[in-house]
Each structure stands twice: as structure tokens, then as C-alpha cells.
Chain A
Amino acid sequence: MTAHHASPTELSGRLDRLGVLLVCGSGGVGKTSVAAAIALDEAMRGRRVCVITIDPAKRLAQAMGLTRLEDRERKVKLPQGGTAGGSLHALMLDPKTAFDRMVTETASTDEERDRILGNRVYQQVSGSSSGTQEYMALERLYELDRGGKYDLIVVDTPPAAHAKDMLESPHRMLRFLEGKSLRWFLKPGAKAGKLGLKALGGSNGPVVGLLQKITGAEMLRDTTEFLESMEGIYGSVSDRIRVVDRMFGSPNTGFLAVTSPERESVDQAVAFWELLEERRYCFVGTVVNRVEPPAPGTYASDAELDALEGIDESLAARIAAAQVDHSALASRDRSRLDELARETGDALTISIPRLARMVNDLDGLRALAPYLHG
């Protein structure tokens, strides 16, 4: 079986049915460029598109008019030649600002809001915790989707160890904010303003005492205060998280995996597809980036190389060696592509060759379009 390649309408046909595209993959596979290229291409086809990105490379960010983290949509000037009506906006996510806004919108009073925003554990966790980044991208997506200004929103998901981290982020966020058992254990002590064995009743009291012994009262108290301060908004935040989580299963939402031909990366894409199948989410396909250009599978003979004008023995030997090396990679990549298509139920598999030049401006992104459409 051979890899199934995109007909000119295959990718765009699938994207036409979607309002949200989540672009997932492990770090270093060119996910940001692929997400941006698809967004640009759809905008040129006449759709109103917004791309949400996290920490793009500087030049790519500049090309899209993004100069710093500001959490606002910026209009990107489209190249000539697009279908009328199309537009492209780009937004660089600032997780801290998004978290603050979520708190502001869900707090019932100003005091409640200020108590959370002013908590130093909150300030630390909302700014740097890696688990919150993924969720905040979804939170932002949810807001934009609800706004109805766009036909398609493309999300370049944050670099994660595994593509599935994205899918699990709403539940992780829930668990994180819940902290129920911890709050319950600590409450009497926290109310008294200090924690200690004596302040704590019940069979778990001693455990908290032990915890205090290894962390000190301060860390325990501050963390508890943080969880306590979130209690007031927990109800509305968790409702919202559940709504965001449901977006995954909407027929309007599709997932695209980006991978390199490396073993680990391909295996991850297959595992990701399996997870989506299990949850009955819509899998658009896989983009395999940095594929070695195809080789004919046969080598030039010594006689053929010798017959070429001005090629001496040393050069002929080096050319032959280079051909063997590159053919081996090409054949590996060919079989990885086939394997990927086979193991993802013959899903759409798009390959982008290893390009001599890096993609870092709109023209470079535009140049990816022919590969996306096969």
C-alpha cells in the first residue's frame, strides 16, 4: 500500500467543513510554520481566518505583524492574488493575560478578583506553569470562536512533549484548580492563620503536619490560600472548562498532526490518531515535514559517472557515496510515510520536502501551499 496523497481539493475540502483546526505535534517539527501556511492559504481562498500561535520564531512573528506578546488579534496584510473576502488575523498568546482575563470574567466581585490576582502563588503559577499554557490557548480559542468573526480559527498548539497533552489540558486544569481534598484538610489551620498539628482535626491531621514539616508553614499556607481564593470562581471556571473540552468533539473542530519522518515523531502521530479515533474526534490528516526528496531507487554506475565530462575518479566516488546516503534516507522516509498512512486508517498524509531555505516570511509560507495540496 502506498501513502495516500492529497488531491488538489482534499485538504481544502476537509477544511471547508471546519471552523476550528487544532495543529498538534511534538516540538521541533515545524508546527508553527505549517499552521501559519494553512491559515494563509485558507485566507487566500477567501475565508476569514485567525491563527493563534504561541512563541513563534521572531521573523515569522514579524512577517505576520506580531511584535510582542499582547494577546490581541493583528491583521496580516495578504499578498496579491487572493480570492475576495479573505482575511488573515494572527494572535500571539500570552498565557498570563489569558489566565487573568478568565479570573476577571468569572469572579463575582471585585474583591474576589483582586484576592486571586494579588495572590503570589497565583502570580507564579499563572505565568510559568507549563500545563496552563495549553489550556489557555483553548480558552482563547473558545472566546474567538464565540465571537463569530472568523470562518476558520487555526491553533498552533504549544510545544509539548506529546501531542495528546493538548487533549488532556482541560482535565488537568480542572484537577489543578479543584484541590478539594487539600483545601478540606487544611481549612481549619488556614482560617486560624497558621497551620499546625494541633489546629488540625481528623485522621488526616497528622499528614498535614508532616507536610508542613517538610515544606514549612509558609509554603503550605500560601498554596492553601491560593486554592481557597479560587474556590469562589471554581464553579463557573469548571463549567467553562467543560464547555471548552466539548469543543474538541464538535463536528466543526478538526485535528491535524504535524510530524517529521523520525521514528519517535511518527509513532507519536499514530498514537495521537488512535486517541482521536477512540474519542471520535475529527482527524483531518498528518503533515510530514522535512521529508528527503525522492530517489529513483537505483544508483548511477561507475561507467555512467565516468562518462560525464570532467568528472575525475575522486569526484565520481564522492558523488556515488552521496547518492547512496541520500537514497537510504529517501527510502526510509518513503516507508515511514507509507507506514503512517497505513496505521492511521489511510488518512490524508501530506509530505513537505526538506527545503533548502527556511520558512520565515509570507512568501516562504506561500511556497508551502503546493505541497499542502499535493
Chain B
Amino acid sequence: MATRPHFDPEQLPLGLQPRTIFVTGKGGVGKSTVAAALALSWRDAGARTLLVELDGQASAASLLSPRTIGYEPTPLGEHLAAMRITMLDALKEYARLRLKVKALADRLVSNPVIDQFTQAAPGFRDLLILGKLWSLSAATDNRGRHVWDAIVVDSPATGHGVGLLNMAGVVAKMFPVGPIATEAKRVDAFTRDPKRTGVVLVSLPEELPVTETLELRDQLIEQGVTVAATVLNGLLVDRFTDAEAAQASALEAQLPADASPAVRHALETVSWEHGRCVDQAAERVRLDAGLDEPACVLPYMFAPQLERDHLTALSQWLSPAGQEVLMRQLAGASDGPSAAAAVHAAAGETS
């Protein structure tokens, strides 16, 4: 492994300690995008980063690589790898560990009984997946260092996500003795340890997602899971001041009936975009009011389709320097429109 002279845990994007991060949020908020961008930004900060997709959730790694991702970590460039955990693969590994004889484990896993059992047994699937994540986070190399400085998990959407993190505790309570209890307790301790595990909540600057994010946060805290950071995704950076938007509206109202449709649309765009920025700002205030630390923000990408380059841009916005620029702009700095132009240019450059 190459030396990493620049690695400084204190300087990581989002100010997070290196640990296993579950990225979750309501469906459609862009959690896979944020998971991929977060993995890139950590890698760029020098952390050996593993991006994990879960069964039925595949998309974060596919944003970064066209290759099929399997159960073994696949390198995606220096210090970055991706893998996909399926219940069956995790079960195979767990069975081999417990039974110690590969042939026996394979015989068990290929039997149809197993499929029925995993469907009916409460929490068994979730426990297997969490157990694999625990072992990845605990893995060390021959010099005793952690193999992964950071593990980013593209987690199931809200609801299912809470279930996943809570499941080890539920299983530990239901089955207090036996091999499954040992595993459940170990995994439960892992999911509730703020040094090892945290959740990054992804939200959008709209009413329903913000409300759900705040509710999900309360639920997680109640379960003893640490919310490490909240990311407000898709925030429009205002190109116009209130006065400019008012001016554009007034001009639009005065346009003659036969004015060019392009000019009319241009002026409409100003009030429309500014209006949305105002609404979004209100939602951002509401979100931040419910959090201990203000949410990190990611700008809306004006792109018909999100490409690899946009992810690079988003990962840079997640860096401490990128956040500073965005925050200054959103706070309405006097260099306002020009800084907004810089944000838009950076997004545009990549498209």
C-alpha cells in the first residue's frame, strides 16, 4: 500500500471521523449519488475508501464504474474500491466461518431450506449483511492497520434503512443465547458505536423530504444510532437578487403581446428560478433548525443526465473548501452573483 502523506482524519469532507457511514434518505433524494460523491471526496482526502452497495440497491458503484461489482472489493483507482453485498454471499461466508468446512457450508447454502428460513426468520438477512460490514470495518492488514479508513454504504431508502440498523438489537433481544445472539450483540454494538458507525442523511430542499429527514433523525437517535451529518442535495444557488427578480417580473409584465417568446421565457426563468431559491432557502432554514449542526449542501446540477464528471464536481463541493464557498454564497455574501456564477461554471464545465 502506498504511503498517504496527505491523510488527515480531521480534514476529511463533512468533518467526519473515518468510520462506516450508512448513506440513507427518502426515495428519490439522490442518496446513491451522494454516497458515490462522498466516497470520491474521502478518497481524494487520502482515506482508503470502500464503497458498498447492498442487495437490490445497486447504483452507487455503477455511477463510478461500468464494471459489474461483486462480493470482492473491486479497485476503482487508487485508494478506492467498491463491492456489493448480497444476502446469499454473506450467508456463504458466515456459514464457512461457523462450520469451518467449506463443503458443508456450500451444501447448506445450496439447500432450498435455507431460502425459506431466511425469508421467515426475523432479522436474519439484515444481520448477515451488517455482520459482513462489521468484519470489513474491523479488518486489519499485516501491520495491524485498518484495511479501510472509510466505508460508505449505499443503504436502503428510509424505512427499510432504519430497519436495517435496528435489526441487530431486535435479534439480540429475541434470541438472547446461542451463536446468533453472539453475532447480534457484536453487530449491535458496532451499529451503535459513534466511533465506528454513523449515518449520513440525504435530503432535498422541499417540504416533504425535509420533514421526513427530521423524523428519521429523531428515530435514529432514539435507536442509539449516530447521525454523523446531513446533506441537503440539489440546492439551487441563486443567480439573482430579490431586486433583480422583481425587475425581471416588471419587464415581463410590460412586454408587448408580440414580443419574442425567447425574451419572455428568459424573463420568466429569472422569477421562476429566484422563486424556487426563496422556497428552498426557507426549507433549508427549517432543516437546520432541527439539526445540531447545519446541513452540508450540494448544488443542483443542471445536467440532463448525471455523468461521472458531475460526481467529481459534487465530491469537490463536499470538501471543506467547497463547502466554504457554497456556504458563503448561500449566506448572501456581497460577492453574491459572481460566486454563484463560479458554482454554475464549475457545474457547467463538467457537462
- Interface residues, chain A, with chain B CB atoms under 8 Å away: 26-29, 55, 57-59, 120-121, 124-125, 128-130, 159, 161, 175-176, 178-182, 185, 204, 207-208, 210-211, 213-220, 222-223, 226-227, 260, 263-265, 293, 295-296, 298-301, 304-305, 308-311, 314-315, 318-323, 325-329, 332, 356-358, 360
User: What distance in Å separates the Cβ of B340 from its nearest Cβ neighbour in chain A?
Assistant: 8
Interchain CB contact under 8 A, B180 and A223 = no
Interchain CB contact under 8 A, B265 and A323 = yes
Report how far A122 CA is from B338 CA in the complex, Å: 60
User: What distance in Å separates the Cβ of A86 from its nearest Cβ neighbour in chain B?
Assistant: 27
Decide: A29 near B28, CB < 8 A? Known: A310-B247, A315-B244, A357-B279. yes
A residues in contact with B272, CB < 8 Å: 293, 326, 356
Does B1 have its Cβ within 8 Å of any Cβ on chain A?
no
16 contacts between A and B (CB under 8 A): A29-B28, A159-B157, A210-B107, A211-B114, A214-B95, A215-B178, A219-B121, A293-B268, A293-B272, A298-B262, A308-B263, A319-B266, A319-B269, A322-B266, A322-B273, A356-B276
B residues in contact with A211, CB < 8 Å: 108, 113-114, 117
Interchain CB contact under 8 A, A130 and B266 = no
Interchain CB contact under 8 A, B341 and A318 = yes
User: What distance in Å separates the Cβ of A64 from its nearest Cβ neighbour in chain B?
Assistant: 15
A residues in contact with B206, CB < 8 Å: 358
Chain B CB within 10 Å — which of A58, A299, A311, A321 has the most?
A321
Interchain CB contact under 8 A, A130 and B28 = no
Closest to A227 in B: B120
User: What distance in Å separates the Cβ of B302 from its nearest Cβ neighbour in chain A?
Assistant: 4
How large, as a class, is the contact surface on chain B? 35 or more
B residues in contact with A26, CB < 8 Å: 27-28
Stretch at the interface among B73-81, B142-150, B169-177: B169-177
Stretch at the interface among B40-48, B64-72, B132-140, B207-215: B207-215
Say whether chain A's binding surface is mostly helix, strand, loop, or mixed: helix
Mark interface residues in B246-269 (1 if CB within 8 Å of A CB, else 0). Answer: 011001000000001111111111
B residues in contact with A357, CB < 8 Å: 279
Does B7 have its Cβ within 8 Å of any Cβ on chain A?
no
Interchain CB contact under 8 A, B179 and A299 = no
CB interface residues, B 99-141, toward A, < 8 Å: 99, 104-105, 107-108, 111-114, 116-117, 119-124
Interchain CB contact under 8 A, A322 and B174 = no
Chain A CB within 10 Å — which of B157, B175, B247 has the most?
B175
A residues in contact with B112, CB < 8 Å: 181
Report how far A264 CA is from B62 CA in the complex, Å: 13
Interchain CB contact under 8 A, A319 and B270 = yes
Mark interface residues in B317-351 (1 if CB within 8 Å of A CB, else 0). Answer: 00000000000000000000100110010000000
Interchain CB contact under 8 A, A176 and B119 = yes
Interchain CB contact under 8 A, B98 and A325 = no
Does B163 have its Cβ within 8 Å of any Cβ on chain A?
yes
Report how far A214 CA is from B97 CA in the complex, Å: 9
Report how far A358 CA is from B174 CA in the complex, Å: 42
User: What distance in Å separates the Cβ of B287 from its nearest Cβ neighbour in chain A?
Assistant: 14
Does B304 have its Cβ within 8 Å of any Cβ on chain A?
yes
Choose from A57, A120, A180, A308 the contact partner of B174 (Cβ within 8 Å). Answer: A120
Interchain CB contact under 8 A, B113 and A208 = yes
Decide: A125 near B120, CB < 8 A? Known: A215-B180, A318-B337. yes
A residues in contact with B248, CB < 8 Å: 319
Closest to A298 in B: B262
Report how far A182 CA is from B119 CA in the complex, Å: 11
- Give the 4 A-B residue pairs with the shortest CB-CB distance, closest first: A28-B28, A27-B27, A216-B178, A332-B304
B residues in contact with A121, CB < 8 Å: 120-122, 174
Interchain CB contact under 8 A, A218 and B175 = yes
Report how far A198 CA is from B305 CA in the complex, Å: 60
Decide: A319 near B114, CB < 8 A? Known: A325-B302, A357-B279. no
